[in-house]
């Protein structure tokens, strides 16, 4: 699959989403409100700026640059 070139800030938002998701998965229940809110904010930004058919490509691009 050919990469769509996403802006650096969108790729960074995807990287932040991945890191936040991983942190939330390991966070104790009851102390994860800040992480959940951050994940929601990042999700909203990604959904608004990246067409659905390009999300998988964005994830792959973010993982390659990590």
What's the CA gap between 26 and 5, in Å, rounded?
Answer: 32
Give the structural domain span for 26. 8-65
For the chain, the average pLDDT equals: 91
Domain annotation covers residue 2: no
Domain count across the chain = 1
Domain annotation covers residue 23: yes
> In terms of pLDDT, which residue wins out, 31 or 15?
15
* pLDDT value of position 13: 97
The DSSP 8-state label assigned to residue 4 in this structure reads P
- Local confidence band at 37 (pLDDT 50, 70, 90 cut-offs): very high
Q: What is the mean pLDDT of the segment spanning 52-64?
A: 92
Domain annotation covers residue 1: no
Domain annotation covers residue 46: yes
Its pTM stands at 0.85
């Amino acid at each position: 699959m050919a990469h769509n070139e996403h802006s650096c800030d969108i790729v960074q938002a995807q990287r932040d989403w991945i890191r936040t998701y991983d942190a939330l998965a390991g966070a104790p229940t009851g102390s994860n409100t800040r992480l959940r809110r951050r994940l929601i904010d990042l999700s909203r930004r990604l959904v608004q700026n990246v067409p659905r058919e390009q999300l998988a490509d964005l994830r792959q691009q973010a993982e390659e640059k990590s």
